[in-house]
Amino acid sequence: LVCPRGVAFLVVPEDLGGLTPVFAGWVAGEAPWDSCYGPVAELAHSARRFDESPSLFSYAGARHSLELFEELGVANVRAHDLALADRFRAGLQGLGHTPISAP
């Protein structure tokens, strides 16, 4: 949520989990330059099959966002997030609402 709009990350198993992309952009083709102006004839045999057109400027911003997480430390970010969630729940209770925990 801290990255610029257009940034997404996806992790898939080596066998691609039997997944097929619903919308395959030109970058998802086995030979991407052959599908620039038309449908993808053959999907890439790697996780690249899930790629969309690269949002280059967004990923330049994402780099700095991820560096911030690294600098702060994931444990510190988690602790801060949990403190915010506790504050939110307390606020709900103060308004007479009962928070419901997810399983």
pLDDT at 103 over 90: no
The model scores a pTM over 0.75: no
pLDDT at 34 over 80: yes
Please tell me the predicted confidence (pLDDT) of residue 64.
Answer: 92
Please tell me the predicted confidence (pLDDT) of residue 85.
Answer: 93
44: part of which helix (H) or strand (E)? none
pLDDT at 23 over 90: no
Angle at 71 between CA 47 and CA 90, to 5 degrees: 95
Please tell me the predicted confidence (pLDDT) of residue 74.
Answer: 93
Distance in Å from the first CA to the final CA of the chain: 23
Spatial separation of the C-alpha atoms in residues 51 and 25, rounded to whole Å? 7
Q: Contact, 9 vs 51, CB < 8 A?
A: no
For the segment 60-100, what is each residue's pLDDT rounded down to a tens digit? 999 999 999 999 999 999 999 999 999 999 999 999 998 88
Q: Classify the C-alpha dihedral 21-26-29-35 as positive or negative.
A: positive
Please tell me the predicted confidence (pLDDT) of residue 68.
Answer: 93
User: Which one, of 55, 52, 47, 50, lies nearest residue 3 by Cα?
Assistant: 55
pLDDT at 39 over 90: no
Question: Could you tell me what percent of the chain has a pLDDT over 70?
Answer: 99
